[in-house]
């Protein structure tokens, strides 16, 4: 599995495990736990969740899945909702997530998206959680380049270690200015929905002939090519969601696929990057 080195010196797998909608159906619990454990055993030791996902149900499934493992070998990410991202509620929200997860710290805590609480207050609260040991690092989600520049001007804003936004081969808006900004400032980029699983473009992507040609050349699925493409630059961590053992194994195997320069050129032509600033996609 390829690795991404964070600016704190820790390396994490380039493909982790997303958990949106995991925990929604109690009948799926055992299968979801098996899927997450399969991912861990395959090197996908980074698991991303959030208090929003089932309001604790996703975090609880993750907590059950990680019980047999050495906690120090895992990298657990959760997110705080905008309404909880201030002095009044953030510590309580974090402690609640830790309770569901059955752990005493998070490796990374993300501000899920911007709300009405001043960003300066949110950053102070995140830094307080880090100083108290409840979280190892913090970052943000659904931030664009202007948001990041505003963040950088704040006290402790330079301590942001990761940004998580939607990113897949048909949604490349973050490549125009955000990802270059993050590389210059040694901030990792986490790609949610890297398989466009909730996007309106998904059907067109899966049937695209260029993607299928690359998949056939590597004896892989289109989804595996999409993951290999997403992590091609070395600074992106993709977090596909899977609720089955087989799909999890396929996701992990994508980390070993090396796309050729010719394939990358063909994919760029089929799915061109924007030539101007565009709003962040959400699907």
Residues of the domain holding 184: 10-270
In a domain, 45, yes or no: yes
Q: Is residue 222 part of a domain?
A: yes
Task: Please report the pLDDT score of residue 181 as a whole number.
Answer: 98
User: What CATH number corresponds to the domain at position 261?
Assistant: 3.20.20.100
**Domain annotation covers residue 2:** no
Of 198, 97, 223, 101, nearest in space to 110 by CA: 97
Assess if residue 77 is contained within a domain: yes
Strand, helix or coil at 198? coil
Count of domains forming the chain: 1
What is the chain's pLDDT, residue by residue, as a tens digit (283 residues)? 899 999 999 999 999 999 999 999 999 999 999 999 999 999 999 999 999 999 999 999 999 999 999 999 999 999 999 999 999 999 999 999 999 999 999 999 999 999 999 999 999 999 999 999 999 999 999 999 999 999 999 999 999 999 999 999 999 999 999 999 999 999 999 999 999 876 555 567 888 999 999 999 999 999 999 999 999 999 999 999 988 999 999 999 999 999 999 999 999 999 999 999 998 887 6
Task: Count other C-beta atoms under 10 Å from residue 98's C-beta.
Answer: 20
**Residue 53 annotated to the active site:** yes
Q: Does the global pTM surpass 0.75? A: yes
- Residues 217 and 266: their CA atoms lie apart, in Å, by 13
Q: How many residues does the chain have?
A: 283
What is the per-residue pLDDT for 168? 95
Would you say residue 211 lies in a domain? Answer: yes
Q: Which residues pair with 190 in a beta bridge?
A: 164, 237
Q: Which residues of 211-234 are buried (b: 16+ CB within 10 A; e: fewer)?
A: beebbeebebbbbbbbbbbbbbee
pLDDT at residue 283, as a whole number: 64
**Residue 253 maps to a domain:** yes
Q: Tell me how many degrees the CA angle 138-143-148 measures, rounded to the nearest 5.
A: 75
- Which of 53, 100, 109, 111 is catalytic? The answer is 53
- pLDDT at residue 64, rounded to an integer: 98
Please count the helices (runs of H) and the strands (runs of E) in the chain.
11, 9
Is 96 part of a structural domain of the chain? yes
User: Does 16 fall in a domain?
Assistant: yes
Helix 29-41 to helix 57-66 angle (10° resolution) is: 50
């Amino acid at each position: 599995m390829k690795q991404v080195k964070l600016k704190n010196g820790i390396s994490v797998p380039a493909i982790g495990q997303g958990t949106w909608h995991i925990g929604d159906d109690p009948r799926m619990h055992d299968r979801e736990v098996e899927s997450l454990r399969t991912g861990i055993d395959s090197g996908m030791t980074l698991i991303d969740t959030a208090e929003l996902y089932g309001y604790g149900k996703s975090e609880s499934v993750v907590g059950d899945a990680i019980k047999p493992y050495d906690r120090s070998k895992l990298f657990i990410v959760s997110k705080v909702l905008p309404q909880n991202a201030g002095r009044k509620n953030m510590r309580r929200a974090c402690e609640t997530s830790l309770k569901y997860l059955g752990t005493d710290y998070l490796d990374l805590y993300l501000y899920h998206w911007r709300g009405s609480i001043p960003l300066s207050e949110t950053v102070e609260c995140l830094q307080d959680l880090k100083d108290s040991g409840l979280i190892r690092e913090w970052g943000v989600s659904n931030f664009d380049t202007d948001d990041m520049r505003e963040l950088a001007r704040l006290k402790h804003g330079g301590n942001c270690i990761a940004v998580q936004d939607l990113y897949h081969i048909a949604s490349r808006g973050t490549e125009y200015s955000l990802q270059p900004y993050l590389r210059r400032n040694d901030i990792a980029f986490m790609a949610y929905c890297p398989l466009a699983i909730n996007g309106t473009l998904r059907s067109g992507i899966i049937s695209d002939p260029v993607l299928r040609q690359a998949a056939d050349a590597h004896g892989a699925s289109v989804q595996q090519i999409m993951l290999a493409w997403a992590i091609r630059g070395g600074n992106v961590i993709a977090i596909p969601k899977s609720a089955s053992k087989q799909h999890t194994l396929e996701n992990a195997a994508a980390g070993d696929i090396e796309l050729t320069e010719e394939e990358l050129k063909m994919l760029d032509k089929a799915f061109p990057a924007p030539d101007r600033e565009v709003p962040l996609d959400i699907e």
